[in-house]
Structure 1
């Protein structure tokens, strides 16, 4: 399996961010070809020491890193990527990697 982790930093307006994410961005992301599982954080994103600089964490799962890359390169993946500028004004970090079970 492969994962795409998106770390959304705190936006200027969290209510507007949340509304856009739920009504527009998540439906776009759910259309990415090859997507097997999609979840987001619920509530505060904390670290061992308390608060972090992140508002929301999204985890998207694909069968492989190649499938993930192909999904992001698709028209649906490009539409989701293009939407980031419409709501993620705090910035976002994207991490992609293969996983293995230990």
Structure 2
């Protein structure tokens, strides 16, 4: 499985970011063909109360990097990428990786 992670920095106006992201950007992004999954996570403060380095983390999934690149190179993908500048006032970082999901092994119960 291949993943593109988009890290959004803290926006100048969080309420405006949220409104634009959910009401305008996401409907455009949902038109992108070929994705096998999608995650969106709003970052929370650390247990000690420190602000995290990012505001929002998005994961886009496809079977291969080539498929993910084709998704972004489609007209819908290009429109989605172009739209990022309209709301990401805190900047954005794109990270590409081949992801492996590791499930912890359950230890036998002790009596």
Deviation at 1:27, TM superposition (A): 1.5
CA shift digits 1:35-71 (9 cap, x unpaired): 1111111452648884222110011111111100000
Q: Distance in 2 between matches of 1:56 and 1:37?
A: 17
- Note the residue ranges of structure 1 that are not aligned, 5 or more in a row: none
Cα distance change on mapping 1:73 and 1:6 into 2, 3 Å: same
Deviation at 1:26, TM superposition (A): 1.3
TM-score where L is the length of structure 2:
0.82
Q: Distance in 1 between matches of 2:77 and 2:13?
A: 25
Indicate the residue corresponding to 2:2 in structure 1: 2
Deviation at 1:28, TM superposition (A): 1.5
Q: Which stretches of structure 1, 4 residues or more, deviate above 3 A after TM superposition? A: 45-50
Q: Distance in 1 between matches of 2:14 and 2:61?
A: 25
Q: How does 1:1-102 map to 2 (within 5 A)?
A: 1-42=1-42, 44=44, 46=46, 50-102=50-102
User: Which has the larger strand fraction?
Assistant: 1
CA RMSD of superposed structures (Å): 2.0
Q: Are the aligned partners of 1:30 and 1:38 in contact in 2 as well (CA < 8 Å)?
A: no
- Note the residue ranges of structure 2 that are not aligned, 5 or more in a row: 103-111
TM-score where L is the length of structure 1:
0.88
**Secondary structure of the equivalent of 1:54?**
coil
